[in-house]
Amino acid sequence: MFRWITITLLTVTIVGLAVFGYKEHQDKNAILIQAENSYQRAFHELTSDVDTLHDKIGATLAMNSRKQLSPQMAEIWRLTSEASSDVGQLPLTLMPFNKTEEFLYDIGDFAYDTAIRDLDKEPLSDQEIAGLEELYKQSGDVKNELRKVQNMVLRDNLRWMDVELALATNEETGDNTIINGFETVEKSMDGFQQTNAETGISARPDENDLSHLKGDEITKKEAIKSAQNWFGKVEPDEFTVTNSGKGADIPTVTASFHNEERNGYMDMTKQGGYPLTIMVSRDVEDSKISLNEASEKAKTYVDKLELKDMEMVESNQYDNEGVFKFVYKKDGVRYYPGAVQVKVALDNGEMLGLDALQYYSRPNETIEEEPGLSEDEAKEMINPNLDVQENHLAVIEDEEQETILCYEFLTTKDDETYRIFINADNGHEEKVETLKTKEARYDVDVS
């Protein structure tokens, strides 16, 4: 009798383990399928956007009406924004693709500036038309190369998950058709930056210059130790450490881990091991701490970077997560180009994300000029229907990434809060931002 009971219990246990294993396998497959579908969608949308972009630039060159030119330029700007977003959704972070991204930036920047200017008073110059013709040629080259990759993806049923795996593990990519195709796209951009500068289509500013950072190149062991310092209870052998691809703008080391409860990665500079981006992914339970308590937690994470004179300027809540922005402050002036953003879980205060790239790219920049306007004069430029709650001197960047000294006013109207930047020299309204402390939730009744 005891023997049959034992056999029955073992059978039930084995069946239970099999069912659990099968369900876990199904869940993992569902996640992989979802990621693959997202990559495929972004890639095909990128191909379509670049195709349309090429046609739109060609149509612009054929236009003779300034009335039609402005909306056409606005459409080109929209397409470049969508194409850039598509690139950002592909697993190419460990692969040099900066020249193509600069190309999209150049088109979008030029198209935006042209769309908003008065073309009757300031029509396109011969130099700018020559620049458009060059962009038309470049977009044609990118279009053709992407179409080749798309044809091979569809014909051979290629998977983007294989690309992600090859890049993440630093495997030889010689046989990876997608990576080879994108490398060809990147090579097609060689030599175009010089031509763009000569024709009035300026190259993208180097907004992520980290050459000033000091320190020795970190080892794999040092990278793991640094990651453990941020991620907590993760064993050294659980980490996968990879280096950025050859030719990358910012040589980085990435330490990543994955287990049943959570996964995460940390990008750090190869020179000195400065943390640039940290992400943790896990299920976040119902909120147990307030947004104010979470902001104190966020401050401790910024302090952990050993940065001085940082001040929190913004806090937002999205479901059960708090997102906080800190900027460098000196002599009462806030420097928005030097910002750090932190995401904190509201169930236990754990850091879920940190982005310090912007800060390390613009370390402690200061501005020496004095305001040309008084605070009261600047306040007169604000919509009189707004109530001013507080104000500061602040430095922001314009579209050309030039720094501007402004008066920053925090204002309210009804239930809305606005941050307004008034140029401290000429009184122009440089920027208006709507601030939200908590994201609204929309529950749909489907009963």
Read off φ and ψ for residue 43, nearest 5 degrees.
Answer: -65, -45
* CA gap 220, 242 in Å, rounded: 9
Percent of the chain with pLDDT over 90: 21
pLDDT per residue as tens digits for the range 140-169: 888 888 888 788 777 777 776 676 566 555
Contact 361, 336 (CB under 8 A): no
CB atoms within 10 A of CB 265: 21
* CA gap 241, 224 in Å, rounded: 8
Contacts within 8 Å (CB) and 24+ apart, 234-240: 234/259, 240/168, 240/169
Nearest CA to 278 out of 363, 346, 344, 209 is that of 344
DSSP characters over 270-282: TBT--EEEEEEEE
439: confidence class by pLDDT, cuts 50, 70, 90: very low
Q: Which two tokens stand for residue 145?
A: 């190369």
441: confidence class by pLDDT, cuts 50, 70, 90: very low
205: confidence class by pLDDT, cuts 50, 70, 90: very low
Q: Does the pLDDT value for residue 298 go beyond 90?
A: yes
**CA dist 232 to 181, 184, 225, 311, Å?**
39, 41, 10, 26
pLDDT per residue as tens digits for the range 91-141: 665 455 666 777 787 788 778 777 777 777 778 778 888 888 888 888 888
Contact 108, 77 (CB under 8 A): yes
pLDDT per residue as tens digits for the range 232-247: 888 888 888 888 765 5
The residue that leads in pLDDT, 400 or 200, is 400
The predicted model gives 381-408 an average pLDDT of 87
pLDDT, position 224: 92
Q: What single-letter amino acid sits at 115? A: A
Q: What single-letter amino acid sits at 258? A: H
